[in-house]
Amino acid sequence: MKYEKLFEKGKIGKLTIKNRIVMPPMGTGFAAASGEASEEITRYYEERAKGGVGLIITEVCRVDELSGVAQPCQLRATDMDVIPSFTRMVDRVHAYGTKMFMHHPGNEAFPITLHGNPVIGPSPVMCKTVGVVPKEMTTAEVEAMVKCFIKGAVIAKTAGFDGVEVHAAHGYLVNQFMSPHTNHRTDKYGGDFACVSPQKLSWVFALPAALTSRSPFVWTEPISGMTVWTKRNASTSRGTWRALALPA
């Protein structure tokens, strides 16, 4: 067999995956309008698990109701009321030995989906995807958003997900904070990009603390040089996915 490793077990942190086949986040619009996991989206992921995928990462799942709505039928991790539907979905995927991560993208939303709320960002720099100059977030708003990510991670863990992926690429909110093109801030969330501060990466430090030592936290980054942090240390590396093993 040419790709022998593809079907061998792999590990992300302390989590063992039955093979190296990973289904990345891909939008379907199959979620319920309420943001819960509908029977349609549950069956969609169940069929992929039945087909032998080792790890499934859900499509976009918002963590903020004011500025994170990307489409009408979108998963949400903003309140505990979604947990029963999420648990049903995860259990049906787990029945085939497949692991499942929740995907948190942050914001790159269109005004029409936000019901009058402004598009937000680290600085008022035009987003070519959306075509809107975002409202610059205050320091307090950034700190509140970090808490939204933490709450979303707790909801994911409580529902039985095996890990969480934060989308820090492709122009989404976390990526905007990491780029000198879109982050012109002068507070603790901006500044010298030659030295990425822990404040800029609050999302990285906070989420692992909200989960357990056996729950991987995956950081999706652009394919370029970038500093990738764990809770205790940092190292410069290149790549698309970084799996940050949580402290024991």
Residues labelled as active-site residues = 172
DSSP string, 7-39: GS-EEETTEEESSS-EE-------S-TTSS--H
The two structure tokens encoding residue 134 = 């975002």
214 burial (CB, 10 Å; 0-12 / 13-18 / 19+) is middle
Give 240's DSSP letter. S
Q: What are phi and psi of 242, to 5 degrees?
A: -130, 120
Let me know how long the chain is. Answer: 248
The two structure tokens encoding residue 207 = 């989420």
